[in-house]
């Protein structure tokens, strides 16, 4: 086929893509369904014009459309990596990790259940071998993530639910294609009835090989991008090559799953990229991939739909019965997951509770699309697959896809309406009425001021003001007549708005380049948790999520364990530096939110709610400040280095703005502007390098600040620094248990603890020690110690403590003073 004709057809398809989105909005149908229907119409029209005798004028165009080189490899090697890779880049990976259990279980278990259900149902209803039936089951178990996610975003489903469905849909495709490869091998080898053990024994290797290949490819890509920080287009070019090289490398080199490799590469780049690459580049990279995925997704739907008329040419009457079996089995399998497994996960607190209407919408929204057709096409192209199997696979996969797109896709919004998911709740409706009234009042004030400044005609201003006042009066009347909003609900709505404003502020700082992309992702995840917690748990949920945002998490505790036991300090140093930067940014953002409460929330929800939100915000700010001060005490001077870095980055952004304004005003020419911006880029690259946190150096400084060690010489201090082990504890953590064996002494570097013994309570703070009495009296501990604030403790074992005690008179005096305060005879300690 001539290149001119192919180019003309492909560019014409872009016009179809451009028209499909507004058409889908106008018809209130899923975008993917419209693309598929248009593709079917184009393909059917081409066949019609070739076979009809009405006219031969369009025959060359029809022949060119039907002769397009559409092969399964085009879908699997060209379009699919783009779609999967972009989906992983668009994920909020930190929030996905929070829900990895339900995502993984739903994805893998859903695919396996759907494959087995459809496979065994077809084996019972047809004469096909079991391997072919299971192959069809794997093909039809893939869902279209873009269709499902867009539907849930349209009905304003909870964010966490959308996130779980998005992750499940993505991994669902990966698992299904991996299973497809397994059963395709059995069919081509002529194995009619494979055992499940034999079928799934290679599955772990397919996944493990794909994960390893994708991870390695992404690490190499990030390393290459980091070598060329000033060449953004070169970095984007590396990112475009990454998914394809990972896919081909996994498939052709080690026989692993290329789909898994692409997903692994995308997730790895998503995790490492924001910390290694410039924030502006990361934003542009995502925008480029969004556009590439939009084109790829639209083209794969249209091109796959072009094949549908041809795939259905050999359909027989009995095939419709088999299509009905596939439809019923696939829907039943998905219902088992949604109404059987999902409630169990919710009961075990591994998944958020999903109301029955949402589960029904998920069930009916399980649309299939281009991936299903591409896999079916791969079967029909294989010369090693029996002809009857190829015919049935093509017809059943195509018929099932048509059912989901035409029947489910066109009725989904009607189903959502019947379920009531497209209507506002009474609370949201009442709030909406109040928000409209407040907004119109604000608009009236601004318009009155603007018209006065411009000295417009008095009659015109009066006429328009009268018209606007009528609309405002109607809005106020509607708000007054709407259902009364309880104070509890107003607080919840105010907290959601406050967390939303915090999220907007983080995005603004990311655009201003005063916070790195990686830490912005973490801060955005914290803000999302606040929104979801406030929505589900009100004030209590918000406070709990706020506490988690400043708490030491499991990953931090694991890093401490690796530092203490394995002497691996790099991870702990990076996470501690991250914590420093996050807390500094969070403190600045929280201080700016007071004005948002007064300017926006007070006008909608009233003075009482605003005062309560001010109080909650003050508590959060106090907790963040306390955590930051604890870090300052642990690592003297490092916070100041970060603050200087923040000031330098802010100054660079302001300087850049000034040059941009001067260029727009014509004060400087393009040559000078380019030179100035290149200079700023070099200075920004230096300013964005975060100072290195050396745990050993800072621990040495910290130890020297202890009054207890004041009389030790430098050599003794160095030995002590090596012997002390840091331990991080949160408020409420049990540090020392009563009746436990005494093996260590604790020195408080920062924070505070509460010691309880014999019905009495003592509070100890920075610079003090505990745990020494039981060691020196040679008896089990009689006290219980619990942290009352986030604290850093330095732990010294018994043998080293005794040697230190013999050398240090200051420490001996401190031990005696501590014993006297607790009513213990110091002579008993000396004798011990």
pLDDT tens for 426-485 read 666 666 666 666 666 667 667 777 666 666 666 776 676 667 677 666 766 665 555 566
Q: Please tell me the distance from the alpha carbon of residue 489 to that of residue 769, in angstroms, as a whole number.
A: 47
Q: What proportion of the chain, given as a percentage, has pLDDT over 70?
A: 80
Q: Please tell me the distance from the alpha carbon of residue 778 to that of residue 485, in angstroms, as a whole number.
A: 64
pLDDT tens for 195-233 read 556 556 666 777 788 889 999 999 999 888 888 877 788
User: Of 186, 193, 250, 191, whose CA–CA distance to 218 is shortest?
Assistant: 250
Q: Please tell me the distance from the alpha carbon of residue 400 to that of residue 393, in angstroms, as a whole number.
A: 11
- Asked if residues 431 and 473 have their Cβ atoms less than 8 Å apart, the reply is no
Q: Please tell me the distance from the alpha carbon of residue 562 to that of residue 555, in angstroms, as a whole number.
A: 11
Q: Please give the pLDDT value at position 216.
A: 92
Checking if the pLDDT of 552 tops 60, the result is yes
Q: Please give the pLDDT value at position 192.
A: 62
Q: Please give the pLDDT value at position 832.
A: 41
**Coil, strand or helix: which one is 746?**
strand
Checking if the pLDDT of 333 tops 80, the result is yes
Q: Please tell me the distance from the alpha carbon of residue 390 to that of residue 44, in angstroms, as a whole number.
A: 21
Q: How confident is the model at residue 571 (pLDDT cuts 50, 70, 90)?
A: confident
Checking if the pLDDT of 330 tops 80, the result is yes
**Mean of per-residue pLDDT scores for the chain:** 77
Checking if the pLDDT of 800 tops 80, the result is yes
The sign of the dihedral angle between the CA atoms of 814, 815, 820, 825 is negative
The CB-side HSE value for 722 (13 A sphere, CA atoms) comes to 5
Whole-prediction pTM: 0.68
Tell me the average pLDDT across 113-118.
Answer: 88
Q: What are phi and psi of 99, to 5 degrees?
A: -115, 30
pLDDT tens for 722-747 read 788 877 777 678 888 888 888 888 88
Q: Comparing 305 with 217, which gets the higher pLDDT?
A: 217
Checking if the pLDDT of 155 tops 60, the result is no
Q: Comparing 402 with 165, which gets the higher pLDDT?
A: 402
Q: What proportion of the chain, given as a percentage, has pLDDT over 90?
A: 2
Checking if the pLDDT of 544 tops 60, the result is yes
Q: Comparing 112 with 704, which gets the higher pLDDT?
A: 112
Q: How confident is the model at residue 166 (pLDDT cuts 50, 70, 90)?
A: confident
pLDDT tens for 118-130 read 888 988 888 888 8
Q: Please give the pLDDT value at position 831.
A: 40
pLDDT tens for 347-393 read 887 776 777 887 787 787 777 766 777 788 788 777 777 878 888 88
Q: Please give the pLDDT value at position 217.
A: 92
Tell me the average pLDDT across 512-524.
Answer: 74
Q: Comparing 587 with 777, which gets the higher pLDDT?
A: 587
- Asked if residues 177 and 142 have their Cβ atoms less than 8 Å apart, the reply is yes
Q: Comparing 433 with 795, which gets the higher pLDDT?
A: 795
Q: Comparing 217 with 781, which gets the higher pLDDT?
A: 217
pLDDT tens for 56-78 read 666 777 777 777 766 767 777 88
CA-CA distances (angstroms) from residue 481 to 423, 469, 475, 485, 604? 19, 18, 10, 11, 16
């Amino acid at each position: 086929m001539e290149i001119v004709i192919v180019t003309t057809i492909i560019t014409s398809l872009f016009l179809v893509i451009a028209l499909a989105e507004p058409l889908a909005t106008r018809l209130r149908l899923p975008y993917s369904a419209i693309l598929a229907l248009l593709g079917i119409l184009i393909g059917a029209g081409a066949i019609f014009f070739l076979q009809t005798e009405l006219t031969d004028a369009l025959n060359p165009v029809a022949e060119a459309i039907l002769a397009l080189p559409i092969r399964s490899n085009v879908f699997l090697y060209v379009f699919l990596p783009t779609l999967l890779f972009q989906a992983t880049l668009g994920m909020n990976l930190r929030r996905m990790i929070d829900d990895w259990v339900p995502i993984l279980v739903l994805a893998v278990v859903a695919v396996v259940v759907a494959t087995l259900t459809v496979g065994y149902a077809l084996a019972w209803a047809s004469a096909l071998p079991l391997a072919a039936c299971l192959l069809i089951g794997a093909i039809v178990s893939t869902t279209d993530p873009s269709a499902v996610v867009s539907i849930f975003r349209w009905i304003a489903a909870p964010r966490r639910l959308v996130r779980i469905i998005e992750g499940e849909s993505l991994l669902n495709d990966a698992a299904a294609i991996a299973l497809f490869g397994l059963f395709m091998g059995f069919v081509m080898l002529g194995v009619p009835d494979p055992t499940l053990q034999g079928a799934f024994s290679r599955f772990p290797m397919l996944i493990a090989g794909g994960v390893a290949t994708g991870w390695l490819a992404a690490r190499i890509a990030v390393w290459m991008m980091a070598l060329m920080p000033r060449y953004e287009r070169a970095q984007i070019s590396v990112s475009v090559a990454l998914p394809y090289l990972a896919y081909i490398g996994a498939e052709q080199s080690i026989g692993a799953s290329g789909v898994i490799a692409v997903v692994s590469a995308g997730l790895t780049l998503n995790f490492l990229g924001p910390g290694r690459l410039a924030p502006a580049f990361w934003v542009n990279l995502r925008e480029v991939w969004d556009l590439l995925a939009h084109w790829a997704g639209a083209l794969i739907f249209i091109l796959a739909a072009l094949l549908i008329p041809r795939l259905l040419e050999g359909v027989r009457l009995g095939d419709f019965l088999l299509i009905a079996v596939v439809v019923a089995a696939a829907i039943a399998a998905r219902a088992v997951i949604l109404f059987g497994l999902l409630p169990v996960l919710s009961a075990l607190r591994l998944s958020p509770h999903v109301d029955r209407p949402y589960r029904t919408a998920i069930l009916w929204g399980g649309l299939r699309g281009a991936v299903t057709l591409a896999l079916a096409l791969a079967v029909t192209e294989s010369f090693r697959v029996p002809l009857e199997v190829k015919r049935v696979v093509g017809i059943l996969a195509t018929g099932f896809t048509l059912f989901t797109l035409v029947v489910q896709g066109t009725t989904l919004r009607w189903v959502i309406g019947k379920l009531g998911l497209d209507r506002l709740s009474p609370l949201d409706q009442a709030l909406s009425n109040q928000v409209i009234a407040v907004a119109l009042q604000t608009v009236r004030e601004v318009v009155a001021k603007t018209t006065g400044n411009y000295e417009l005609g008095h009659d015109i201003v009066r006429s328009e003001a009268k018209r606007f006042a009528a609309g405002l009066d109607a809005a106020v009347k509607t708000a007054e007549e709407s259902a009364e909003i309880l104070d509890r609900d107003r607080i919840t709505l105010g907290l959601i708005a406050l967390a939303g404003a915090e999220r907007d502020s983080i995005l603004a700082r990311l655009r201003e380049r005063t916070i790195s992309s990686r830490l912005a992702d973490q801060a955005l995840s914290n803000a999302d948790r606040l929104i979801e917690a406030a929505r589900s748990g009100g004030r209590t949920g918000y406070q709990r999520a706020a506490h988690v945002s400043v708490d030491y998490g499991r990953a931090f505790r694991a890093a401490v364990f690796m530092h203490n036991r394995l002497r691996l300090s790099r991870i702990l140093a990076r996470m501690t530096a991250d914590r420093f930067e996050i807390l500094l940014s969070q403190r600045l953002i929280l201080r700016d939110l007071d004005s948002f409460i007064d300017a926006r929330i007070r006008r909608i929800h009233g003075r009482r709610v605003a005062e309560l939100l001010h109080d909650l915000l003050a508590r959060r700010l106090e907790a963040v400040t306390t955590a930051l001060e604890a870090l300052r005490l642990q690592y003297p001077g490092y916070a100041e280095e970060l603050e200087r870095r923040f000031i330098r980055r802010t100054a660079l952004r302001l300087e850049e703005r000034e040059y941009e304004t001067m260029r727009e005003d014509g004060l400087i020419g393009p040559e000078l502007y380019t030179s100035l911006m290149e200079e700023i880029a070099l200075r920004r690259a230096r300013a964005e390098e975060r100072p290195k946190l050396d745990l050993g150096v800072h621990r040495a400084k910290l130890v020297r600040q202890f009054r207890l060690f004041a009389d030790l010489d430098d050599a003794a201090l160095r030995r002590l620094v090596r012997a002390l082990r840091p331990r991080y504890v949160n408020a409420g953590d049990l540090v020392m248990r009563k009746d436990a064996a005494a093996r260590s002494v604790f020195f408080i570097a920062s924070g505070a603890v509460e010691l309880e013994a014999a019905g009495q309570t003592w509070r100890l703070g920075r610079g003090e020690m505990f745990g020494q009495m039981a060691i020196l009296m040679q008896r089990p501990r009689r006290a219980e110690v619990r942290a009352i604030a986030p604290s850093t403790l330095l732990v010294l074992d018994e043998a080293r403590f005794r040697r230190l005690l013999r050398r240090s008179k200051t420490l001996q005096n401190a031990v005696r003073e501590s014993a006297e305060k607790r009513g213990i005879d110091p002579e008993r300690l000396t004798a011990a």
